[in-house]
Every structure is written in C-alpha cells, then in structure tokens.
Structure 1
Amino acid sequence: MSGLAPGEGVDAGAAPLAHEPLPTDEVIIGAPTTAVHDLATIGGVEVGIWEMTPGTASDTEVDEVFVVLSGHARIEFVEPALPAIEVGPGSVVRLAEGQRTAWTVTETLRKIYIA
C-alpha cells in the first residue's frame, strides 16, 4: 500500500499493514509490534494509519491529533505528568511534541493520525 493519490480512497480499518517489533529499549511489557502507513502529506502535515499489538511500550510524542478506529489502550502521560486516559473506537486525542508516554494496548489499536 502506498500513499494516496488525489481522488483515491482506502478502507483505513481494513488496510493490511506490515508490522515490525519495537526497539527493545521502548518495550516495557510483552512483545508489541507496530505498523505505520503514511497516507498523505498536505501542506507539511502528515496523515497516516498507525497500529500497535498488545503490550506496553514507551514513546516520545510529536505534535499529533489522532482518532482511534479499533482496539483499546491506556495512555499514561509520564512527562509532563497528566491523568492517564483510556481510548477506544471513536476516541480523539491530542499529543504534544516531546511528551513522554507509556501505551498499554489490550486489544490491537489502530488509529488515523494527523501530525
């Protein structure tokens, strides 16, 4: 699957994605894998599909808004410290550049991101 051409569409919930293991220094629990597929870059803004299998991993975020298509996870905000949130289908979340998080995915999570 490659980036979308103008006028082209894709079923973001069913599109096949190629998973890879996360770097070991990011894995906290389990053996989660992730997949990402860039759909488009519009005016310097990236839009794509991201997916993570069950497990817990740390991340340092970029400026992003995402919408969960499927799955469930708990996102802990390590730095700056903020209350953890539960996300599932339909959740819309804003992340900030440099924010440190820990993602605990209980059901493979797929989201559309805008970054």
Structure 2
Amino acid sequence: MPPRLLSPDVTTASLAHDALSRDDVLHGSPTTAVLTLDALPTCEVGLWEMTQGSARDTEVDEVFVVVSGHGTVTFEDGERLGLTPGVAVRLRAGERTEWTITETLRKVWIA
C-alpha cells in the first residue's frame, strides 16, 4: 500500500534541478526540477520548479496550482497568465507556451 503522506511540505521538498535545452531557453539560464509524488490509475501528481529566466515548452494535459514564486505563462494565442501562489491553471496537450519566471516558481501538478 502506498504511503498516505506524499510530502510533509511541498513548498520546501528537495528537488534536483537540470539545465534546459539551449533550444528552449529564451533568456537567462533557467533550470527545472520535477518530482513525481504519486501515480494514480489515470494520472500522476507531482512538483515542478523553474528558476529565473524564460523558456519555451510543449504542454501535456495538466492542472496545476502555484505554491510559491512568481512569473507568467504566455500561450501561442496571446493569452498571458500571471503566476503567483494560489493560481490554478489548466494546460492542454500540444499547447506551446513561454514561461517567464521572475522568482523561482514551484507548482503542484496533476497530469
């Protein structure tokens, strides 16, 4: 049986960062980290973090809630969302986005 407690504090859980592909970086030298907390029959739940800078991404079907940090995500259609603690966002598979992070951003995701 999987543990009930997945993280005692998602805001401070240790994450290992990796550099992004230079093809995806638009500004700065941002890094990202991913930690899967659990896998359910039809989805996974985890943490994602990005340091300051800007980068492109291609999304998967996901819902996330920002738990710390600040930034924006801009979609190909021009929609731009401010990202601050408490904001919940729905991403759709295949969407191209640009993430601009001004303070290391951490989110809890379900995908």
Task: Give the TM-score band, short-chain normalised.
Answer: over 0.9
Q: Counterpart in 2 of 1:53?
A: 51
* CA shift for structure 1 position 14: 0.6
TM-score w.r.t. length of structure 2: 0.95
Per the alignment, in what secondary structure is the counterpart of residue 35 of structure 2?
strand
- The number of residues matched between the two structures is 109
Distance in 2 (CA, whole Å) between partners of 1:9 and 1:74 is: 28
Distance in 1 (CA, whole Å) between partners of 2:59 and 2:98 is: 10
CA RMSD of aligned residues (A): 0.9
Aligned-residue sequence identity (percent) comes to 52
Are the counterparts in 1 of residues 74 and 80 from structure 2 also a CA contact under 8 Å? yes
Residues 63-86 of structure 1: CA deviation (Å, up to 9, x unaligned): 0000000001111101xx042111
Q: What are the ranges of 5 or more consecutive residues in structure 1 without an aligned counterpart?
A: none
Q: Counterpart in 2 of 1:15?
A: 13
Q: What are the ranges of 5 or more consecutive residues in structure 2 without an aligned counterpart?
A: none
TM-score w.r.t. length of structure 1: 0.91
* CA shift for structure 1 position 7: 1.9
Distance in 1 (CA, whole Å) between partners of 2:25 and 2:47 is: 21
